[in-house]
Amino acid sequence: MPGSDPVGAPVKTHCPYCALQCGMEIGPGLAIQPRTDIPANASGALCQKGWTAGELLTNGERLTTPLLHGEPVEWDVALDYVAYRLSAIRAEHGPDAVAVFGGGGLTNEKAYHLGKFARVVLGTSQIDYNGRFCMSSAAAASSKAFGMDRGMPFPITDLADADVVLLAGGNVAETMPPFVRHLSGPRMIVIDPRRTQTAKLAWLHLQPTPGTDLALALGLLHLAIADDLVDEAYVAARTTGFDEVRTSLAGWWPERVERITGVPVYRMRQAVRALASAGNAYILTGRGAEQHAKGTDTVSAFINLALALGLPGNYGSGYGCVTGQGNGQGGREHGQKADQLPGYRKIDDPAAREHVAGVWGVRPEDIPGPGRSAYELLDALGTPDGPRAMLLFGSNPVISAPAAEHVAERIGALDLLVTCDFVMSETAVLADVVFPVTQWAEESGTMTNLEGRVLLRRQAVAPPEGVRSDLEVLAGLAERLGHTLATEPAEVFDELRRASAGGLADYSGITYERIAAEAGVFWPCPEPGHPGTPRPFLDSFATPDGLARFVPVQHRPPAEEIDDDYPVYLTTGRVLAHYQSGAQTRRIAALVKAAPEPFVELHPDLAEQLGITAGDVVRVTSRRGEAKAVARISDAIRRDTVFMPFHWEGANRLTNPALDPTSKMPEFKVCAVRVERDS
Amino acid sequence: MRLVVVGNGMAGSRLVSEVRARDPHMRITVLGAETCQPYNRVLLSNVLAGSSRPDQVRLLDASWYDAHNVNAAFGSPVAHVDRETRHVVTEDGRREPYDLLVLATGSQAIVPPLPGVERAIPFRTLDDCERIMQAANQARRAVVVGGGLLGIEAARGLAGRGLPVTLLHLAGHLMERQLDVEAGEVLGETLAGLGVEIRTGVSADSVQADGVRLAGGELVEADLVVLACGVRPVTGLAAEAGLEVRRGVVVDDELRTDDPSIFAIGECAEHDGTVYGLVAPAWEQAAVAADVITGGKALYRGSRLVTRLKARSVELAAMGETQLTEEHAEVVRFSHRARGTYRKLVIRDGRLVGAILLGESDAVGTLTQLFDRGGPVPGDRAGLLFPGLASAPVADSPVLMPDAAKVCQCNNVTKGQIRACWEAGARDVAGVAAATRATTGCGTCRDAVEGIVGWLCEQEGISV
């Protein structure tokens, strides 16, 4: 059985999964122990995914040979073939005929090199990544309000001392269980259409109609203003734009919001009072609030609430986005996003282009402009104006993209699909060429966790024979296309530091040695002697005048409302035992045992009305496709809504690719479906 | 295309912003009779209660009009519509040509023809509100005439300012159009507890310097009298222009009057025999009219009415046909007057056609949405009235918990596994954690694991 060789002494590294990036030690052998020096899980916590992560390293389905049209081939054969095809497609159709699609789980080094490879080696503007499906709405809203997007602009350990934490659309008890340990002190207010494991821990649970979080946030701020709970001194000293927001809220009185959201007015009032009377409070948002065609505005509304209550930039209070993917934060900073260059720079900013061009040794005008966003890119594949070839890294869009059947069709229309993966994911199956690559503990690199803390994920085991790292694949292709790229992570990181210097996400003072010695370093860290910045907004915000911006926003209905044909809302999310598209976790026995199959959660009243009993196979249909799964009956969900986890094929065949106009986030979290017993 | 909107209240201002959102170029002129920017009338009770300042209820900033290229005239009442030449003429003589005209003239307070009524202040506009507040500062006792929605909000607001208030109401119970007798009584009891004296079934005879004289001769003392006796659609302009007017200006499903170039929306309009007096229908009409005006195909089919009282410490929602009895519908009712709680569902043909919810209730959102959507009512009626009631109690006692029950979610550990682990020698949480990893994730199951281990030890007589 192919597998990696364990090394002897324990090696300090991090979990392969979520953005919490729990510290763990591997070894001797493949034994895993939690570290106690990483604040995210310093109490020695790990969830089942973390404890069983070692099985990824011995998995029998591991890829170890490059595949060309399904047949094992030598590395050189596969690399030569891909380079030849890329050159030919580029020559015939131009550089934008080749697309690159990355992932939020890739290390900073890979994310950086992917961006550089696309722009310098391929000369294409067509690069984006699955993080677009993750934190992009929160990122856009944070940038508007604060001039900078650092998921949580404070250490996670600060949360424990808060009096109240409001979590809008996040289920951390399942998605990142050790996070909950930081919430044992504060009163929790949870906003979620389901009474999730997290909502069960809450002091107050608000259960809105899917797609109405924005209205709810407006209603909460309306109440804060009407009940005279606004921190006027803070608003005057540290923000701008409040008057316009106040006027824009006159139409969102709580009784109207109640009718839209289904959240009782007195519950809204309880929430606002608790937040306003707290000495220290945080407002956090997760994908539930963000994955909508109005996700950016929803986050803006929650940030407006936080600003009105005087939270951001005050020690012990604030707003934060609970980033999801392992390197969701770092992955959005270093250039694999269609509109960005390293250091969280904008690709259409001449100064940014000049700086990065200098590091890359190219002319600024040679760097392509902004390309298509993730879904727009997938939707364009194989169309007359769209890319003909795609290189895919760390992503499984056939499972994870909205309207997944359509996306599979688009991928099928490509002339060339190349994937880098370590197992045969559902997307890899469709590829012309699959490169078997190293994973997680078989390679080193940095990850930036949900706090903005740059961490070092060290190699703990030797990779199985035959696999190469993503960096080596990129270098191999670059070489064949006439360019040179480094393959050593430390070397790539040094270049990333220079490329990020002077940008918002400035890593130039961070080194592997410092990360190891300091258990992580917070960006921005502009010089070697700089201590890093755990709380960047204490003195001022990253806007030109240092003031935070109120952004007036208005609620609007979901892109697709329920009607007679599709009378039930569908919302999607995660279960504890699985991660993202499940390509990793669905191959681990203990996790499969814990959560073996997809399911549809529905309320007993809805089940009764539809003649469905627990365990029945039900068919869920939307305008985009259908999926079958086993019924679970639970009164933890609203009567008008069903829930499906998205780790298996199915849920995303149903979801709606309507995009947020700013972030280009698809509307994963609400669409209209019909639910029937499968006869 | 030149659009002229007469009226800049909640309906008119909404229409203007809806049209602008759909068409950035149409020439829009809005003529408002009131001198101020449009404000949210719904929030006037907050202003009266002192919880909002008048400047906090603006719907649009003055700068909005310039920024959105809308020509607005405040304090510019319209005197005449010239349909021949398609002009409106303002009282100060300005002639404004239109291709399409929207009448959003709203309604005005009904002032009953009582002797001395000029001493009383109607409660309708922001100006009224400011007059009442000024008077309230000097007043020692207030009377509110009219126990409908607005009168109750006014009375509650004045009482909240510390002013003793008597509410006079002609009908036998409060809000008789929305509430059944018992709900009206429970509401009265709640208000009485908040300092509002309720007098129902009484008729005012005259307003005097020292109070209101009732029909029977009794004087209810007050030095501030507020009128909330209902409203009447403002239709004079339309009638004078020869448009069809019944109670309101008659409109079709496109909100057009019998002149296809003239629309009417809001409280001045009558659709399918109904004149609506709430903001939600006015805004629904504004959205439909805006769509039609900008070339869309939307149709207005009437609105479902949900009345939500906005008065501090009084939670009341009433919707639909609340007065139906068991003869005509299925009625589910719960009453607990000592707590000010009254809940009623009216169900016909399996659909919710009416409901009253008085007192704090988590059911209000679900019921409102069920009523709005007209969806089927679930079989478990009690679960609708008392959300959470149906939830199965969690068997958290180690004795009652089945072996298959999951104790640690994060590591998928059942009670049975903990028992097996105990049987294999683990005698404390650390031992169980080492063997099963229970408690090592989020940590919230620690007490449960401790409880199970303790109970197992107890069973075996092992002291820990």
Express each pLDDT in A297-311 by its tens digit.
Answer: 999 999 999 999 999
Comparing CB atoms, the residue among A46, A197, A226 nearest residue B51 is: A226
Question: How far does A463 lie from chain B, in Å, by closest CA?
Answer: 28
Comparing CB atoms, the residue among A47, A201, A262 nearest residue B441 is: A47
B interface mutation test: which of A253, A270, A564, A591 has the most B CBs within 10 A? A253
Residue B222: domain span:
117-229
CA distance A611 to A621: 17
Nearest to A581 by CA among A111, A134, A276: A134
User: What is the ipTM metric for this complex?
Assistant: 0.93
b/e code A405-436 from CB counts within 10 Å (16+ = b): bbbbebbeebbbbbbbbbbbbbbbebbbbbbb
From chain A residues 174-203, the ones with a CB under 8 A of any chain B CB are 174, 177-181, 184, 197, 201
b/e code A640-659 from CB counts within 10 Å (16+ = b): bbbbbbbbbbbbbbbbbbbb
Q: Is B150 helix (H, G, I), strand (E, B) or coil?
A: helix
Quick check: B442 and A173 CB within 8 A?
Answer: yes
CB-CB neighbors (< 8 A) of A43 in chain B: 443
Q: Which pLDDT belongs to residue B321?
A: 94
Query: Are residues B379 and B418 both part of a single domain?
Result: no
Regions of chain B with pLDDT less than 70:
389-396, 462-464
From chain A residues 276-295, the ones with a CB under 8 A of any chain B CB are none
Query: Are residues B201 and B270 both part of a single domain?
Result: no
Least confident window among A102-111, A206-215, A557-566, B384-393: B384-393
Query: Are residues B126 and B178 both part of a single domain?
Result: yes
CB-CB neighbors (< 8 A) of A244 in chain B: 61
Whether the Cβ atoms of residue B313 and residue B194 lie closer than 8 Å to each other:
yes
Average pLDDT of every residue of chain A: 96
CA distance B208 to B116: 6
Quick check: A261 and B380 CB within 8 A?
Answer: no
Tokens of B169: 């109401």
Tell me whether residue B372 is in a domain.
yes
Q: What is the side-by-side strand order in the sheet with B306-308?
A: B306-308, B316-320, B351-358, B341-348, B330-336
Q: Which pLDDT belongs to residue B63?
A: 87
Query: Are residues B54 and B6 both part of a single domain?
Result: yes
In chain B, whose CA is at the least distance from the CA of A578? Answer: B410
Count helices and strands (H / E) in chain B. Answer: 13, 27
Comparing CB atoms, the residue among B61, B310, B383 nearest residue A255 is: B310
CA distance A327 to A102: 12
CB-CB neighbors (< 8 A) of B308 in chain A: 255, 258-259, 265
A interface mutation test: which of B316, B371, B410 has the most A CBs within 10 A? B410
Quick check: A180 and B372 CB within 8 A?
Answer: no
B240 Rama sector, left if φ>0, alpha if ψ -120 to 50, beta otherwise: alpha
Tell me whether residue B454 is in a domain.
yes
CA distance A260 to B365: 8
Tell me whether residue B301 is in a domain.
no
Comparing CB atoms, the residue among A45, A174, A253 nearest residue B440 is: A45
In chain A, whose CA is at the least distance from the CA of B14? Answer: A251
Segment (H or E) for A71: strand A71-72
Tell me whether residue B247 is in a domain.
yes
CB-CB neighbors (< 8 A) of A47 in chain B: 410-411, 440-442
Q: Is B73 helix (H, G, I), strand (E, B) or coil?
A: strand
Residue type, A345: R
Comparing CB atoms, the residue among A51, A201, A226 nearest residue B444 is: A201
Question: How far does B202 lie from chain A, in Å, by closest CA?
Answer: 31
Nearest to B390 by CA among A331, A603, A165: A603
Is residue A264 reached through a cis peptide bond, with omega within 30 degrees of 0 on the bond before it?
Answer: no
CA distance A235 to A608: 51
Q: Which pLDDT belongs to residue A2?
A: 42
Q: How many domains does chain B have?
A: 4
Tell me whether residue B304 is in a domain.
no
Whether the Cβ atoms of residue B125 and residue B47 lie closer than 8 Å to each other:
no
Quick check: A177 and B361 CB within 8 A?
Answer: no
Q: Does A594 contact B at CB distance below 8 Å? A: yes
Q: Which pLDDT belongs to residue A1?
A: 36
Whether the Cβ atoms of residue A653 and residue A626 lie closer than 8 Å to each other:
yes
Q: Does A608 contact B at CB distance below 8 Å? A: yes
Whether the Cβ atoms of residue A462 and residue A47 lie closer than 8 Å to each other:
no
Quick check: B412 and A590 CB within 8 A?
Answer: yes
Q: Does A18 contact B at CB distance below 8 Å? A: no
Segment (H or E) for A320: strand A318-321
DSSP state of A118: I
Q: Which pLDDT belongs to residue B58?
A: 87
Quick check: A243 and B310 CB within 8 A?
Answer: no
Question: How far does A68 lie from chain B, in Å, by closest CA?
Answer: 39
Segment (H or E) for B30: strand B27-31
Comparing CB atoms, the residue among A184, A251, A594 nearest residue B412 is: A594
CA distance A530 to A519: 15
Whether the Cβ atoms of residue B266 and residue B282 lie closer than 8 Å to each other:
yes
Segment (H or E) for A521: strand A521-522
Q: Which domains does chain A possess?
A: 5-58 (2.20.25.90), 67-133+327-522 (3.40.50.740), 136-322 (3.40.228.10), 568-677 (2.40.40.20)
Question: How far does B1 lie from chain A, in Å, by closest CA?
Answer: 27
Res. A48 pLDDT band, cuts 50 70 90: very high
Tell me whether residue B435 is in a domain.
yes
Is residue B281 reached through a cis peptide bond, with omega within 30 degrees of 0 on the bond before it?
Answer: no
From B200, B229, B258, the end of a domain falls on B229
Residue B335's CATH number: 3.30.390.30
Quick check: A179 and B442 CB within 8 A?
Answer: yes
Backbone angles phi, psi at A340, to 5 degrees: -130, 155
Query: Are residues B223 and B257 both part of a single domain?
Result: no
Tell me whether residue B288 is in a domain.
yes
Quick check: B441 and A46 CB within 8 A?
Answer: yes
Comparing CB atoms, the residue among B61, B310, B391 nearest residue A244 is: B61
Residue linked to tokens 């028992």: B419
Quick check: A177 and B441 CB within 8 A?
Answer: yes
Tell me whether residue B241 is in a domain.
yes
Quick check: A253 and B43 CB within 8 A?
Answer: yes
Express each pLDDT in A527-551 by its tens digit.
Answer: 999 999 999 999 999 999 999 999 9
Q: Does A640 contact B at CB distance below 8 Å? A: yes
Cα-based angle A224, A225, A226 (whole degrees, multiple of 5): 95
Q: Which pLDDT belongs to residue B463?
A: 59
Query: Are residues B181 and B199 both part of a single domain?
Result: yes
Whether the Cβ atoms of residue A164 and residue A204 lie closer than 8 Å to each other:
no
From B179, B198, B229, the end of a domain falls on B229
Least confident window among A120-129, A561-570, B396-405: B396-405
In chain B, whose CA is at the least distance from the CA of A41? Answer: B441
Backbone angles phi, psi at A160, to 5 degrees: -60, -30
Query: Are residues B239 and B217 both part of a single domain?
Result: no
Query: Are residues B150 and B201 both part of a single domain?
Result: yes
Query: Are residues B99 and B126 both part of a single domain?
Result: no
From chain A residues 46-65, the ones with a CB under 8 A of any chain B CB are 46-48, 51
Residue linked to tokens 């890294």: A393
Tokens of A23: 């510290």
Give yes or no for residue A95 having a pLDDT over 60. yes
Quick check: B365 and A263 CB within 8 A?
Answer: yes
Residue linked to tokens 């972030």: A663
Quick check: A605 and B379 CB within 8 A?
Answer: yes
CB-CB neighbors (< 8 A) of A179 in chain B: 442
CB-CB neighbors (< 8 A) of B368 in chain A: 258-259, 262
Query: Are residues B169 and B211 both part of a single domain?
Result: yes
Q: Which pLDDT belongs to residue A3?
A: 46
Q: Which pLDDT belongs to residue B35?
A: 86
Quick check: A635 and B391 CB within 8 A?
Answer: yes
Quick check: A250 and B280 CB within 8 A?
Answer: no
Residue B102's CATH number: 3.50.50.60
b/e code A137-176 from CB counts within 10 Å (16+ = b): bbbbbbbbbbbbbbbbbbbbebbeebbbbbbbbbbbbbbb
Residue linked to tokens 């005050």: A314
Query: Are residues B256 and B221 both part of a single domain?
Result: no
CB-CB neighbors (< 8 A) of B347 in chain A: none
Give yes or no for residue A220 having a pLDDT over 60. yes
Question: How far does B196 lie from chain A, in Å, by closest CA?
Answer: 22
CA distance A397 to A132: 12
Comparing CB atoms, the residue among B378, B412, B437 nearest residue A609 is: B378
Query: Are residues B143 and B74 both part of a single domain?
Result: no
Comparing CB atoms, the residue among B43, B57, B364 nearest residue A258 is: B364
From chain A residues 535-574, the ones with a CB under 8 A of any chain B CB are 562, 567
Measure Cα distances from A551 to A146, A297, A311, A537 in Å.
11, 8, 16, 18
Backbone angles phi, psi at A388, to 5 degrees: -105, -20
CA distance A324 to A338: 20
CB-CB neighbors (< 8 A) of B61 in chain A: 243-244, 247
Nearest to B183 by CA among B338, B364, B357: B357
Torsion, CA A123, CA A125, CA A130, CA A131, rounded to 10: 110
